[in-house]
Amino acid sequence: LTLAAGHLVTANYGSGSVSVLPVAGDGTVGPVAAVLAHEGGGPVADRQEGPHAHQVLPDPTGAWVLSVDLGTDSVRVCAVDPATGELRTHGETALRPGTGPRHLAFHPSGRHAYVLNELEPTLTVCRWDAAAGVLEPVGEVPVLPEGVTVESYASEVVVAHDGRFVWAANRGHDSISVLALDATGEHPSLVTTVGCGGHWPRDLALDPAGRRLYAANERSGNVAWFTVDPATGVPAHGGTLDAPAASCVVFG
């Protein structure tokens, strides 16, 4: 879920839709104002029989809302009407069929976005034109080393505050991938992977200072934290906190 134009916007995986709810001045949430149903499917029969909206987030300018759909192998660019909550589709970007895009994160420059794919262990690099509201795929790189045979499903992608690194969490491989970015932000390369400090990392979060990563390890029931090496981007395990069925880390 995310906030956009004075509304709470949620991605609904099961129904493959996005809902918009107004937020009052006192922070209370009103009834659903609008629902945008995604349409389509993909080639992976047991996972892409229909749309599965997995994430919504605003672009860095706040003018657009992007919804990432695992079932349709696409990202939709939408605008929220601040008066009515109506969600209008501006465009839809098709990604490689069968990759199953799950989550997206923006480069701090606002000129690139990185889409993490769940059904294949890859990261799709996109250019982002905020003025036109256009997302353009320009490349794809692996997030796991060659030769990995364990079944793995990527979950979360995080970009360093200085735009030098991208991190991805991998469920099954139970690791955090470290990718270095070039000066343009358009060419990530896999540096290494490190253990996630548990089993089935469902979420990955960077603290506001950009010094620590936190992995929510759902099946081992713990949150692990890591200190990030500022020169290499490689996280070093610092400790864990028990948290049954941990699924998300959020900073207030």
Residue 29: inside a domain: yes
Question: Does the pLDDT of residue 239 top 90, yes or no?
Answer: yes
Closest CA to 68 of 120, 119, 134, 18: 18
Residue 67: inside a domain: yes
Domain containing residue 90 = 2-142
Closest CA to 33 of 83, 97, 85, 88: 85
Quote the number of domains for the chain.
1
Looking only at the bridges linking them, the beta strands covering 112-117 and 235-242 are unpaired
Q: What is the pLDDT of residue 39?
A: 97
**Three-state secondary-structure class, residue 165:** strand
Residue 189: inside a domain: no
Residue 175: inside a domain: no
Residue 168: inside a domain: no
pLDDT, tens digit (0-9, with 9 covering 90-100), for 140-169: 999 999 999 999 999 999 999 999 999 999
Residue 204: inside a domain: no
Closest CA to 42 of 104, 105, 89, 94: 94
pLDDT, tens digit (0-9, with 9 covering 90-100), for 48-80: 999 999 999 999 999 999 999 999 999 999 999
**Threshold 0.85, pTM exceeds:** yes
Give CA–CA dist 182/163, Å, rounded: 9
Neighbouring-strand partners of residue 128: 135
Give CA–CA dist 180/164, Å, rounded: 6
Cα 55 to Cα 27, 115, 116, 207, distances in angstroms: 22, 11, 11, 20
pLDDT, tens digit (0-9, with 9 covering 90-100), for 5-36: 999 999 999 999 999 999 999 999 999 999 99
Tokens, residue 47: 């996972």
Return the residue matching tokens 């501006």: 90
Residue 222: inside a domain: no
DSSP state of 8: E
The band of 252, judged by pLDDT with boundaries at 50, 70 and 90, is confident
CATH code for the domain in which residue 126 is found = 2.130.10.10
Residue 242: inside a domain: no
Q: How many CA atoms lie within 13 A of 128 on its CB side?
A: 27
Cα 35 to its chain centre, rounded Å, is 21
Tokens, residue 57: 């987030």
